Every structure is written in C-alpha cells, then in structure tokens.
Amino acid sequence: GAVVSQHPSRVICKSGTSVKIECRSLDFQATTMFWYRQFPKQSLMLMATSNEGSKATYEQGVEKDKFLINHASLTLSTLTVTSAHPEDSSFYICSARDWGDTQYFGPGTRLTVL
Amino acid sequence: AQKVTQAQTEISVVEKEDVTLDCVYETRDTTYYLFWYKQPPSGELVFLIRRNSFDEQNEISGRYSWNFQKSTSSFNFTITASQVVDSAVYFCALSEAPGAGSYQLTFGKGTKLSVIP
C-alpha cells in the first residue's frame, strides 16, 4: 500500500515552454501533498505544500506564478513549470501525506530544459 | 526552528559488515515524528520507518534497526550484514506532531552509503 505515482518520469523541453507534472496517490486519499526540488547530491528542498481544494502554500523564494500547483482532488496534485528556463532543470519529487501522517514519495520527474 | 544533522556525508563498507548511520535533531516541539527514507540511484524515496517522539522503544525490522534516544536527540539507523542492494542515500527527517501544522518534513543532508562486494 501507500503508493504514489508521478508522471512523466523524464521530460525534455525547449526554453519558454510549460511543463505539467502529475502526482497521484494510488491507494489512499491525501489531503496534503508536497512538492520538492532536489539538486544533484543535495537534500530535498520543499517548494510548496498543497491542500486539496485550497491554494498552495509556497516556501520563501519559490515563485508561485512560475510553479503553478493545483490540488483538484484527494488523489491528484499537479505542478506546472511555466515558461521554463535551463535553470529550472532539476529533479522534482512529490509526496502525499496519508491519514497516519506519513509522507510517501513519488518516483520523481527529471526535467531538462534546453 | 527544526534541524536535522547527518554528520556522515559518505560511508563505505564491505559487504556483510554492520553500519550505523547517525542522525541528530533539534526541535522545540514536545511531540514530533522522526523518519528515515532511502533513496537508491533510481531516485525514488522509500519510506523506512516513522517514530513518534513519545515512543522510545527501539525497533528492528529484518536487518534494519533503529535506536531512538530522546536524551541525546538522536535517531540512529543500523544495517546489519550489509548488502550491495543497501547502497543508497539515506535521509533522516523530522516533522511536527499531529495538529501542530502542515506536517512539513525537515530533512538532513543525507548519508551516502556504498556497500562494496
């Protein structure tokens, strides 16, 4: 149990385009989902906290207009990187919190912006 | 503010050796959660354990064991008879307790474990 999927696993896009990443909790409902960014050989950096049916809470320094988050249901949250630039290239990971207060992580999405 | 320190950046052991990964935390909360996650080269974080702050019992799961010592604010992780498949980056993390807020995780910087055959 407690499986979180993330799609796509890998995406390459041109500078200036937008990319949408989906995060789904497959076998449990998640009122809260989180989006992280991880640079090579570093720890995870929390970008935003997403609660179902409400606006996401962004961490300091994260541009909310650039990283659009939608949490439309108890099993789906999406992150859209708008007008992507090469510096947005990174590994993006989502997590979903279950009713037992444990975060389960998706497999991650490697974004490369050319 | 919460803080998690994993002082060991990288550890290398020979297969079948035991290895302990250290984790020290700081928090002003009286109740909190502690976690360990494994991140293999594939990138996905795998949940290993969650410990409530009021439960100081040590836990064993197969070759894995965890030693929670509230007096020293430590939550160490030991792998017995290590195997090559244990090679990964291991993260210790801390979160607020129920009802305290958003359950955000504060991660340590991770310890990269390499098990040499």
- Identify the residue whose tokens are 């490697």: A110
- pLDDT band per the 50, 70, 90 thresholds, residue A100: confident
- Identify the residue whose tokens are 């789906």: A76
Inter-chain touch B104–A101, beta carbons under 8 Å: no
Give me the pLDDT at residue B62, please. Answer: 95
Which residues in chain A are closer than 8 Å to B46, comparing Cβ atoms?
105
Closest CA to B4 of B97, B106, B80, B95: B106
Cβ contacts of A39 within 8 Å, gap of 6 or more? A45, A90, A91
Whether residue B39 is predicted with pLDDT greater than 80 in this model: the reply is yes
Query: Among residues of chain B, what percentage have pLDDT more than 70?
Result: 95
A47 vs A58: CA distance, rounded Å: 6
Whether residue B57 is predicted with pLDDT greater than 80 in this model: the reply is yes
pLDDT tens track for A65-91: 999 999 888 999 999 999 999 999 999
A91 vs A89: CA distance, rounded Å: 7
Inter-chain touch B103–A32, beta carbons under 8 Å: yes
Which residues in chain A are closer than 8 Å to B92, comparing Cβ atoms?
none
